[in-house]
Amino acid sequence: MSAAFIEEPSDEELPARRMLDQDWRKVFKYGLLLALVLVFVALTNMPVNLDRRMLIEPIFSMGYLSLFWLPAVFGLVVCREPVLAGMPSYAKGSREVLAGSLVGLIGGAGLSFLTLLLDNFNLREPLVNWSPQLLELLSFQRDTAFGIAIWLPIGLVLGTFGGLTHLLSATTRRVLSWAFVSVIAFAVFETVILDLSEGFAWLGAEWLVDELYFIRGGLTMHGAAVLAAAGSLSAAFGRDRAHRAKERFQALEGTSRTRANTIGLLALAAALVILPLFLGGITNELLANVGLFVLLALGLNIVVGLAGILDLGYVAFFAIGGYTAGILTTANRGESWPDWMPQFYWGTALVVVVILAALAGLFIGAPVIRMRGDYLAIVTLGFGEIIRLLFLSDWLGGYTGAAQGVTNIPGVQVFGLATVKGTDPRAVFYLVLFFCAIAVYVSWRLERSRLGRAWMAIREDESVAEAMGINTVNAKLMAFVVGAVLASFSGAILAAKVGSVFPNSFIILVSIVILVVVIVGGMGNIAGVIVGSVVLIGILGGPRQPGLLQEFSEYKLLIYGVLLIWMMLKRPEGLVPNVRRTRELHQDEYLQDAWLRGEIDTDSEPEDDSHSNGNTGVLPA
């Protein structure tokens, strides 16, 4: 994080270090860490559970992938060091390869040791995954001695491979990684692609898919080869074209740029509207779930990303939306409601939902508005839990159905044309898409409005913002209200989609998952939030919704936790960063860079930012 002023590696010949001139402590540290991580992954039973999912039939399953990628990555990372200006730098050579192999070897030894222990002790009592199946997998279905022996060379080879990547030229590295990524991506997205191929059967897509995929799942060998070739070719030849296109786009100015943007957006919108028609139930269901979370995440993005208020009780608004819509539209509501209360149409109920959510936003927002960020987080979390407990309690059970929740919620009638309900995921997706479009538009307009700028000022420094004449109390309350309304939309759609709402659909976990989505995607960036939802909810799955990798359902929360820590430590601005937010988060580095370049006094920073910290990947505005 503190690396300032990193230079691009120059072309001139650098001296390589001698092979045995190692940082031994670092090598052993990484080796032990790798061994620990490998043993941990093995004990989570990930290899055994994921072994069912074949990537390339019959040689490679996701179970082994979950172990194999680690030594390679550690072998690569152990010798990665920032090139600092003014410090001597060295060419990569045999030293790096040796370090990689050693790290891999130590890691492999860890798994060998685990195999040995698995064979001789029974720790099933506390460790539930201490099983014969794991032993069988670790010893490749042969005897234990083979398993103990084989992990050493496997670790060595993978670690060496990781170390060798240092020696490859940038182009080769790109080609290889593209080949790898395209194979993995096609294997992971199998469900979606099969689904699509049915929609496009008239194009002969089914023949292609039959060639590509094995009947019971996984790519065929020749399919994988073709994909790898296609991936590497596109990396080798497509890059320049993509670069030129990007440059052309960036060169556009004024109206032509706006036009290009509009055309791009329209194309995207058209694709989103047309594509579901060719997709089957599973994929549409997946898209609908992703959409629900996009809606939630866009709302939280306003609260956390723009106004910088860490609201951990965000799920309360989701719950209020779901319950209000459910209670108003169902015929089967709790006995405490008066008999004269009619059964509302979903659209009418939505008005009530919006009003109630806004009031709840004010009610929860007002007491916490003056608190410091961390207090606010805990108190909102408390509110989130209180609301759930109230819905769950017998006290209000006559209204909310207590633990049984609200059931028999009808779908949404759209102009008498169609009924949107859970059995028709495509219709649900369109409904969600409509609300997402509203949410994106609202977020986009708000971000550039006076209110949006006030939020950003508050996020950066509340006292300064107040001194500049911003009414911080009102601005923060507005953030709560807007976020609450967006979340309540999502809740109302959920009620109509699932047909029932239960208190347990609204646990604090949901808040945290949405927070992870916003942070991984990129706080304060609409595109980032959408990318985050698609990647996390689409692939791994939501708190209760399965994703593309259904085998991962046991591990997704663990992965969310790791991702949250990792992103905060390494890339707090998210996958798709917001320029302004990035500069706030890396303020020290920017100042340091500018100072090193002797530009601390100038008003503007130069266009060319190739010298600044490469891993933030952001240009100064």
Q: Which residues bind another protein (CB under 8 A)?
A: 1, 43-46, 125-129, 308, 310, 312, 366-367, 369-375, 377-379, 381-383, 385-386, 389-390, 392-395, 397, 450-451, 454, 469-471, 473-475, 477-478, 508, 512, 515-516, 519, 554-555, 557-558, 560-565, 568-569, 572, 584-585
Torsions phi, psi for 309 (to 5 deg): -105, 120
To another protein, the closest distance from the beta carbon of 110 in angstroms equals 16
Per-residue CA distances from 143 to 119, 138, 139, 249 (Å) = 10, 10, 6, 60
To another protein, the closest distance from the beta carbon of 467 in angstroms equals 11
Pick the closer one to another protein by CB: 105 or 470.
470
* Cβ contact 294:529 at 8 Å: yes
Helix (H) or strand (E) segment spanning residue 560: helix 556-570
* Cβ contact 316:488 at 8 Å: no
- Sign of torsion, CA 187 189 195 199? negative
* Cβ contact 589:559 at 8 Å: no
* Cβ contact 221:57 at 8 Å: yes
To another protein, the closest distance from the beta carbon of 463 in angstroms equals 10
| Whole-number Å distance between alpha carbons of 435 and 422 | 17
Pick the closer one to another protein by CB: 475 or 494.
475
Residue written as tokens 């072994």?
Answer: 51
Could you say which DSSP state residue 404 is in? G
Pick the closer one to another protein by CB: 369 or 486.
369
| Whole-number Å distance between alpha carbons of 192 and 205 | 13
If we measure between CA atoms, which residue out of 64, 139, 157, 65 comes closest to residue 102?
Answer: 157
Pick the closer one to another protein by CB: 78 or 309.
309
To another protein, the closest distance from the beta carbon of 378 in angstroms equals 6
Pick the closer one to another protein by CB: 383 or 430.
383
Q: What is the DSSP string of 221-253?
A: HHHHHHHHHHHHHHHHHHHHHHHHHHHHHHH--
Could you say which DSSP state residue 278 is in? G
To another protein, the closest distance from the beta carbon of 538 in angstroms equals 20
Pick the closer one to another protein by CB: 179 or 475.
475
* Cβ contact 12:101 at 8 Å: no
The angle at the Cα of 324, spanning 319 to 326, to the nearest 5 degrees, equals: 95
Q: What is the DSSP string of 142-182?
A: S-HHHHHHHHHHHHHHHHHHHHHGGGS-HHHHHHHHHHHHH
To another protein, the closest distance from the beta carbon of 88 in angstroms equals 26
To another protein, the closest distance from the beta carbon of 418 in angstroms equals 37
To another protein, the closest distance from the beta carbon of 46 in angstroms equals 8
Torsions phi, psi for 413 (to 5 deg): -85, 125
Pick the closer one to another protein by CB: 205 or 371.
371
To another protein, the closest distance from the beta carbon of 402 in angstroms equals 8
Evaluate the omega torsion of the peptide bond into residue 58 and state whether it is cis, within 30 degrees of 0.
Answer: yes
To another protein, the closest distance from the beta carbon of 47 in angstroms equals 12
Instruction: Give burial (CB, 10 Å; 0-12/13-18/19+) of 325.
Output: buried
Pick the closer one to another protein by CB: 175 or 392.
392
* Cβ contact 384:363 at 8 Å: no
To another protein, the closest distance from the beta carbon of 577 in angstroms equals 14
Pick the closer one to another protein by CB: 41 or 414.
41
If we measure between CA atoms, which residue out of 120, 101, 103, 109 comes closest to residue 149?
Answer: 109
Pick the closer one to another protein by CB: 51 or 424.
51
Residue written as tokens 């945290």?
Answer: 512
Instruction: Tell how strand 54-56 and strand 412-414 pair up.
Output: unpaired
* Cβ contact 496:330 at 8 Å: no
Pick the closer one to another protein by CB: 60 or 314.
314
Could you say which DSSP state residue 613 is in? -
Pick the closer one to another protein by CB: 307 or 328.
307
Pick the closer one to another protein by CB: 234 or 553.
553
To another protein, the closest distance from the beta carbon of 590 in angstroms equals 14
